[in-house]
Amino acid sequence: MNLQVVYCTHQTASLSVRERLAFSSPDHLSDAYNALKERFPQCEFVIISTCNRVEIYTAHDAPGSGPNLRQIAQFLSEYHDVPLDDFYSELSEKSGTDAVKHLFDVASSIDSMVLGESQIVNQVKSAYDAAARATACGLLTNTLFQRALTVSGRVRTETRLSEGRISIASVAVIDFGKSIFDSFADKTVLVIGAGEMGEETLRYLKSEGVKRILVCNRNPDRALRLAHEFGGIARDWATLDDCLAEADVIVSTTGADRPIIDVPRFKAVRKKTGDRPVFILDVAAPRDFDPAVGKIDDNVFLYDIDDLEATCQRNRKNRAHEIEVALKIIEEETARFVHDLNHKSTGPIIKQLREHWQDISRQELDQLFRKSPNLAEPDRQAIERTVDRIVNKLLHPPLEVLRDESRDGTPHGLLDAIRRLFRISG
């Protein structure tokens, strides 16, 4: 199996690195696929880019024909115009079975910052859809990602990982928002951006009793749709500063490739609001708020994704048992996937071998029946069954060896030996 993944996640790299390597918009992603296909035309690709991870999966036919870690890093460096030294040490790589398990971990939210969160499944699915649209994926990545979504469903059904705090928004609001405000019912919530994360945050805040919601997005139609869904008010992008001044809680989730709110801009907003407490949750990657905004005054409480890491680690410790159950499922599914995949690779040889031997036996039987035309039909059938049994018994040992060997990967040597021994082409 020629599969590998090069990645940086919240566990391996800081947000300041991840946000520089992120593919924040569909256009970026599409460009990236074109660039990758141009560089490595023989390969299949799927890119997963979220606030917590940037991962590039590559698959290829021949061993050694795919890009290595250095080449992928070089691509990221050139594509994002980021010096290689700034992030190379924070990249990780996995290949083969480990890469499969990694994707299953990701899709099952085992690798997520917020254990059991549901957004990641949609993010994996969106990444796969985007790769398919860009005609970047192929047979192996198709099989892999479809299986990953199935595994994710199984983990959710057979474990209790999805119970309790299940979104980044809920973790942030419970741990920090509720320590600032006693109640959200009398607060104004501003959501900047109208993506899935914004939607998820609003769903949670709505359950906390929020009544006044403002949605501000560059695309007014999407703002209107989100505002309508949660009983909020869609605001024009040009009025963002006024919205910021009105809000007590700000959730920013845009796909902007650089901060949209810097210190001078937010200082001007604070001049209008006084030093009323404001809770800002910046879940975008790259970040929408300059981190220095949090230092403007004592009542600006700014949190980004990485600020939730410690809470999420504690949450993870509390659910060690569920993680164990999920990991067992993932290991089992990984082994099954790898076996299926390898078995599939031995399939053509087995088929040809069987057909070859059956052809020989058919030829010999025809010859026998021509020489003995007086053989009764029951006798003919008995002879045919005996020959079939002989062929099957002769085929059994090599096929069994092939099956056993394919558990640990495609047995290229053995397949080659069979081809040569039995003169099978292809």
User: Cβ distance 121 to 51 under 8 Å?
Assistant: no
Residue 362 sits at the vertex; the CA angle it makes with 361 and 363, to the nearest 5 degrees, is: 90
How many positions of this chain bind other proteins (CB under 8 A)? 22
In angstroms, what is the minimal distance from the CB of 198 to other proteins? 22
Cβ atoms within 10 Å, residue 262:
13
Could you say which of 69, 180, 224, 387 contacts other proteins (CB under 8 A)? 180
Q: Which of 51, 137, 243, 312 is catalytic?
A: 51
Considering the rule CB under 8 A, would residue 184 count as an interface residue with other proteins? no
Specify the amino acid at residue 334. Answer: T
CB of 298 to other proteins, least distance (A): 4
| Residue selected from 57, 87, 128, 181 as contacting other proteins according to rule CB under 8 A | 181
Q: Report how many helices (DSSP H) and strands (DSSP E) the chain contains, helices first.
A: 16, 10
How far is Cα 87 from Cα 69, in angstroms, rounded to an integer?
Answer: 12
CB of 53 to other proteins, least distance (A): 21
* Nearest distance, CB of residue 17 and other proteins, angstroms: 19
From CA 251, how far away is CA 190, in angstroms rounded? 6
The CB-of-160 to other proteins minimum distance in angstroms stands at: 19
Task: Please tell me whether residue 182 adopts helix, strand or coil conformation.
Answer: coil
14 binds other proteins per the rule CB under 8 A: no
| 209 C-beta neighbours (distance < 10 Å), count | 11
Nearer to other proteins, 54 or 308 (CB): 308
Active site residue 51: yes
Residue 179 binding other proteins, by CB under 8 A? yes
Q: Does 87 contact other proteins by CB under 8 A?
A: no
Rounded (10°) CA dihedral 227, 232, 233, 234:
-20
What residues between 259 and 298 interact with other proteins by CB under 8 A?
274-277, 297-298
**Any residues with CB less than 8 A from the CB of 98 and at least 6 apart, and which?**
none
- Cα–Cα nearest to 28, from 255, 198, 259, 192: 255
Pick the closer one to other proteins by CB: 105 or 306.
Answer: 306
Active-site residue set = 51
Which residues here bind other proteins, judged by CB under 8 A? 174-176, 178-183, 274-277, 297-299, 301, 303, 307, 310-311, 314
